């Protein structure tokens, strides 16, 4: 319907409302423009066109930077971040344009209008208007902060940027996993090494804490008074002593009584324990090892198909199939068989005492041991309570019902109680996993080189507070989001059991 | 660590504020009535609190000297203990007015990090300490050793350079808190403890059996330690710089805390200028004409402070060596007051 035709029959009240709407749009447009102009001019103190020149230069540099990986990679990464910050106002312009377009549509188009002539009582208009106001305020605030920071850093002679990540680090790190870091590597690589140390510590901690937690939770429900009291006191004690204190105690408990390298405790002439860590033989795989790996992968895939087939058959005919035993045979038995068939394709590199310390083999440093013990024992106490609550949340009627259906005790636990308990357990368990990951940052106290410890060194040696903090926040946020995403997925999967 | 994060956030916040306080440290200091001085978390001889929380040491004396120059009162100073890792962030974010904490003057700190070194109050070099029982006599025998040290220091960089240059393996165990380094080394986590040699002499006193440890002869780096201020306030930089020069010049001219009152009557023009009897040197840096008199009267000259805190008669027992005056076989040298 054309608006012209409509306006002919307009009453004066309708006309007033229309004019009011028109002026509101004009006001919105002015607010939007002013906000954008203020923010953008604050940020681009040089000139508005500077932004486009900068972005073009950076895009041009990306190609060149990609040529050499290490320094280049981080330079590149930094440029992308800076470029993203720079084009943000561009997106804002687009966003404002979109909003104005929506307002315009609202003026010219027919929407179900309320009786009132006042557009502020129109839900549709209010939606657009409040969104615009909130967004403008937010954008102005963000730009004010970012603009000031950039300005002041320029004035201090430290323009922000991530180029420093490509600079030579120059310091050593005492646990390097899956990387070839040395003192001549870059700050970026040092941070990567720290990140890997955080991830490995957190994962190991999560697994161990879960095991401890389930044991404690189940012990706590035991009918045996001594066992349940033991679990009770475990929980009360470890939950209430500050974690940092526990970390220090474990570190010095691990360190103090252990002998020096020359008087190491020895297990079977191949594992050595001393105050520098636990050393064990390191497996060295020959090419034939791949057959074993292939057998293992095959075992997993075959087990999966067998489980599906067995499930379907049981649904149709009611005949059970020993899936677990078959799968075990396939996943463990088969590779072991292949291992011997291809002639044991593994040799071992034994640690040996050379000079001050053991060299070669595999090693767990005492700082890792102490962190792992402290984190998993502490978090295990919380998880124990969660498990107890989860199991107790399943009504006793469920037990009675499954027993009267003729399920065996194991079947009852596996098929009825645990699936229902897990629904209650998983959400709080997720937050414990997140806590453990964040608590792993206390590692800095005992020289375990996690992300915070290494990041702190980088921050101090390079003087890049802003950038390092941004990296910390981004990484811990991503780790947390990844953990919750995984746990949410698992939770959703577990929920299906409920049907 | 929490503190480092807080400080760093503080620095970021300061950067985010519209007007970051840059110049005017002297006015700020006068307004609040004391000098806020960043020191170590406890390094005997340099900056160390006693049971009652009274700070003493060479670096602490320097803070008091600045307070004496500004207020005529060496007690108008407050101390902020800082780990090596936190110190620059604390200084830059305005948490402290001066950093007087065995800090090595390096080019990167002086330029990129936005700091100004006011001079050198202790010429040092990095060394290694080991257990005597290891039978090691030279740093070149340390291949494969585990080395304990502090993070955020020149130390952790030098040790990496040294071992790499001599193609030796090592494992670095780097703690943030100096006391944790001492503890870990004492418990046998490391074969070697490395830091500035003055620091080794000081930290050694904290070991269970100091006599069971030796400091190896090698000096692997230059560590000129001195007080630091932040960029952007020339007047404050001048005050801190000339506080140090006044102490060194006083020693050279034989002016001590005991004889400073008589020295005011001296006919030596250098002494007369230093003590404000002649010229307007104090006024020109925004202080009273008796600025240097107050420093010497209340804190003493450089030599007095050295002897009292780290000299041969103290538990640290450090000979003057490089830190003797330039005309007494060392390299301590201050530009003239004129
Ligand atoms: N001079 C070196 C090292 C300074 C340093 O922090 N040394 C440690 C070990 S002696 C220290 O003073 N610790 C005392 C403390 O942190 O309280 C530098 O400026 O980086």
Mind listing the pLDDT tens digit for each residue in B218-273?
999 999 999 999 998 999 999 999 999 999 999 999 999 999 999 999 999 999 99
Residues of A in Cβ contact (< 8 Å) with B4? 456, 459
- Residue B118: count of CB within 10 angstroms of its CB: 25
- Measured CA to CA, the distance from residue A177 to residue A193 in angstroms comes to 7
Atom 10 (ligand 1): residue with closest C-alpha? B199
pLDDT of residue A86: 63
Residue to test with chain B: of A173, A459, A460, A462, most B Cβ within 10 A: A460
Of A343-347, A451-455, B79-83, B136-140, the least confident = A343-347
The CATH code for residues B126-221 is 3.40.190.10
The pLDDT of residue B142 is above 60? yes
- The answer, for A252 touching chain B at a CB cutoff of 8 Å, is yes
Between A258 and B255, the more confident residue is B255
Q: Is B47 left (phi over 0), alpha (psi -120 to 50) or beta?
A: beta
Residues B148-177: tens digit of each pLDDT:
999 999 999 999 999 999 999 999 999 999
The pLDDT of residue B48 is above 90? yes
Q: Where in chain B is the domain with CATH 3.40.190.10?
A: 24-123+225-328, 126-221
Closest-CA residue to B253 (of B308, B301, B320, B304): B301
Residues A172-193: tens digit of each pLDDT:
999 998 888 988 888 988 999 9
Assign 3-state DSSP to chain A and report helix, strand, coil percentages, each to 5: 75, 5, 20
pLDDT of residue B228: 97
Q: Residue written as tokens 């508005």?
A: A48
Instruction: Please give the distance, rounded to the nearest whole angstrom, from the Cα atom of residue B150 to the centre of ligand 1.
Output: 7
The mean pLDDT value for A218-234 works out to 93
pLDDT of residue A401: 92
pLDDT of residue B337: 94
The pLDDT of residue A205 is above 90? yes
pLDDT of residue A227: 95
Closest-CA residue to A213 (of A409, A399, A411, A428): A428
> Is B150 touching ligand 1 by the criterion CB < 6 Å?
yes
**Cβ pair B113, B159 in contact under 8 A:** no
What is the number of helices (H) and of strands (E) in chain A?
Answer: 17, 8
- Measured CA to CA, the distance from residue B88 to residue A398 in angstroms comes to 63
Instruction: Please give the distance, rounded to the nearest whole angstrom, from the Cα atom of residue B153 to the centre of ligand 1.
Output: 7
Of A430-439, B17-26, B198-207, B217-226, the least confident = B17-26
The pLDDT of residue B22 is above 90? no
How is chain A split into domains, by residue range?
A: 12-160, 187-258+364-494
The pLDDT of residue A44 is above 70? no
Assign 3-state DSSP to chain B and report helix, strand, coil percentages, each to 5: 40, 15, 40
The CATH code for residues B24-123+225-328 is 3.40.190.10
Q: Residue written as tokens 């989860």?
A: A390
Entry pTM: 0.82
Instruction: Please give the distance, rounded to the nearest whole angstrom, from the Cα atom of residue B165 to the centre of ligand 1.
Output: 23
The pLDDT of residue A220 is above 80? yes
Architecture of the structural domain at A187-258+364-494: Orthogonal Bundle (1.10)
pLDDT of residue A131: 79
Residues of A in Cβ contact (< 8 Å) with B142? 356
**Cβ pair B35, A172 in contact under 8 A:** no
Residue A4: pLDDT band by 50, 70, 90 thresholds? Answer: very low
CA distances from A129 to A39, A91, A106, A134, A476 (A): 20, 19, 11, 9, 35
Q: How many residues does chain A have?
A: 499
- Measured CA to CA, the distance from residue B107 to residue B105 in angstroms comes to 7
Between A419 and A115, the more confident residue is A419
Non-local (6+) Cβ contacts of B181 within 8 A are B148, B149, B150, B175, B193, B195, B203
H/E run at residue A362: strand A362-364
What does the mean pLDDT of chain A come to?
A: 82
The mean pLDDT value for B318-325 works out to 96
The pLDDT of residue A228 is above 80? yes
Residues A52-102: tens digit of each pLDDT:
555 566 555 555 555 545 555 666 666 666 666 666 666 777 777 787 787
What end-to-end distance do the CA atoms of chain B give, in Å?
Answer: 46
The mean pLDDT value for B279-283 works out to 92
């Amino acid at each position: 319907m054309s608006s012209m035709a409509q306006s002919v029959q307009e009453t004066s009240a309708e006309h007033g409302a229309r004019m009011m709407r028109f002026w509101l749009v004009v006001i919105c447009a002015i607010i939007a423009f002013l906000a954008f102009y203020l923010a953008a001019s604050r940020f681009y103190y040089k000139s508005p066109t500077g932004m486009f020149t900068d972005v073009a230069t950076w895009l041009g540099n990306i190609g060149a930077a990609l040529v050499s990986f290490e320094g280049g990679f981080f330079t590149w990464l930094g440029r992308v971040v800076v470029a993203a910050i720079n084009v943000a106002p561009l997106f804002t312009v687009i966003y404002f344009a979109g909003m104005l377009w929506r307002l315009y549509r609202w003026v010219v188009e027919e929407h179900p209008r309320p009786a009132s002539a006042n557009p502020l009582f129109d839900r549709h208009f209010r939606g657009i208007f409040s969104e615009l106001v909130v967004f403008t305020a937010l954008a102005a605030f963000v730009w004010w902060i970012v603009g000031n920071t950039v300005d002041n850093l320029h004035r201090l002679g430290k323009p922000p940027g991530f180029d420093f990540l490509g600079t030579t680090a120059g310091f050593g790190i005492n646990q390097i996993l899956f990387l070839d870091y040395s003192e001549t590597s870059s700050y970026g690589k040092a941070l990567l090494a720290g990140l890997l140390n955080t991830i490995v510590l957190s994962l190991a901690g999560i697994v161990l804490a879960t095991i401890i937690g389930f044991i404690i939770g189940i012990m706590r429900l035991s009918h045996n008074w001594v066992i349940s009291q033991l679990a009770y006191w475990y929980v009360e004690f470890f939950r209430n002593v500050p974690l940092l204190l526990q970390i220090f105690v474990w570190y010095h408990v691990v360190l103090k009584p252990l002998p020096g390298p020359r008087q190491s405790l020895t297990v079977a002439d191949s594992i050595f324990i001393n105050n520098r860590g636990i050393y064990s033989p390191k497996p060295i795989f020959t090419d034939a090892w791949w057959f074993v790996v292939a057998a293992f992968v095959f075992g997993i895939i075959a087990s999966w198909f067998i489980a599906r087939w067995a499930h379907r058959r049981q649904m149709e005919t009611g005949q059970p199939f020993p899936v677990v035993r078959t799968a075990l045979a396939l996943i463990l038995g088969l590779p072991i068989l292949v291992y011997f068939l291809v002639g044991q394709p593994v040799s071992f590199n034994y640690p040996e005492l050379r000079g001050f310390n053991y060299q070669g083999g595999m090693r767990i440093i005492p700082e890792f041991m102490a962190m792992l013990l402290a984190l998993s024992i502490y978090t295990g106490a919380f998880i124990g309570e969660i498990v107890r609550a989860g199991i107790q949340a399943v009504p006793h009627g469920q037990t009675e019902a499954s027993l009267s259906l003729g399920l065996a005790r194991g079947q009852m636990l596996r098929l009825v109680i645990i699936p229902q308990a897990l629904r209650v357990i998983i959400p709080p368990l997720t937050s414990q996993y997140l806590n453990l990951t964040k608590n792993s940052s206390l590692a800095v106290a005992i020289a375990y080189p996690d992300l915070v410890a290494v990041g702190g060194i980088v921050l101090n040696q390079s003087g890049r507070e802003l950038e390092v903090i941004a990296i910390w926040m981004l990484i811990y946020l991503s780790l947390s989001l990844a953990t919750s995403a995984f746990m949410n997925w698992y939770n959703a999967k577990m929920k299906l059991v409920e049907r | 660590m929490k503190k480092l994060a807080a400080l760093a956030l503080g620095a970021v916040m300061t950067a985010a504020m519209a007007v970051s306080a840059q110049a005017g440290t002297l006015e700020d200091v006068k307004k609040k009535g004391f000098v806020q001085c960043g020191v170590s978390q406890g390094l005997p001889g340099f900056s160390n609190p006693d049971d009652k929380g009274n700070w003493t040491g060479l670096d602490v004396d320097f803070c008091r000297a600045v307070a004496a120059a500004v207020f005529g009162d060496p007690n108008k100073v407050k101390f902020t203990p800082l780990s090596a890792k936190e110190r620059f962030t604390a200084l830059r974010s305005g948490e402290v007015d001066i950093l007087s904490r065995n800090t090595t003057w390096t080019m990167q700190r002086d330029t990129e990090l936005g700091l100004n070194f006011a001079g050198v109050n202790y010429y040092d070099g990095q060394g290694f300490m080991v257990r005597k029982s290891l039978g090691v006599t030279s740093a070149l025998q340390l291949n494969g050793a585990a080395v304990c040290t502090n993070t955020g220091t020149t130390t952790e960089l030098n040790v990496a350079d040294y071992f790499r240059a001599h193609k030796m393996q090592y494992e670095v165990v780097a703690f943030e808190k100096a006391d944790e380094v001492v503890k870990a080394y004492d418990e046998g986590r490391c074969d070697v403890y490395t830091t500035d040699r003055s620091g080794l002499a000081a930290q050694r006193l904290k070991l269970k059996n100091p006599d069971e440890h030796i400091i190896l002869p090698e000096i692997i780096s230059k560590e000129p330690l001195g007080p630091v201020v932040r960029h952007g306030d020339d007047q404050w930089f001048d005050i801190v710089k000339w506080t140090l020069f006044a102490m060194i010049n006083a020693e050279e001219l034989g002016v001590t805390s005991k004889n400073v009152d008589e020295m005011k009557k001296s006919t030596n023009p250098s002494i007369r200028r230093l003590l404000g009897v002649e010229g307007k040197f104090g006024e020109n840096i925004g202080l009273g004409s008796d600025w240097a008199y107050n420093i010497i009267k209340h804190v003493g000259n450089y030599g007095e402070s050295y002897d009292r805190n780290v000299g041969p008669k103290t538990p640290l027992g450090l000979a003057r060596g490089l830190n003797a005056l330039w005309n007494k076989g060392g390299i301590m040298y201050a530009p003239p007051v004129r």
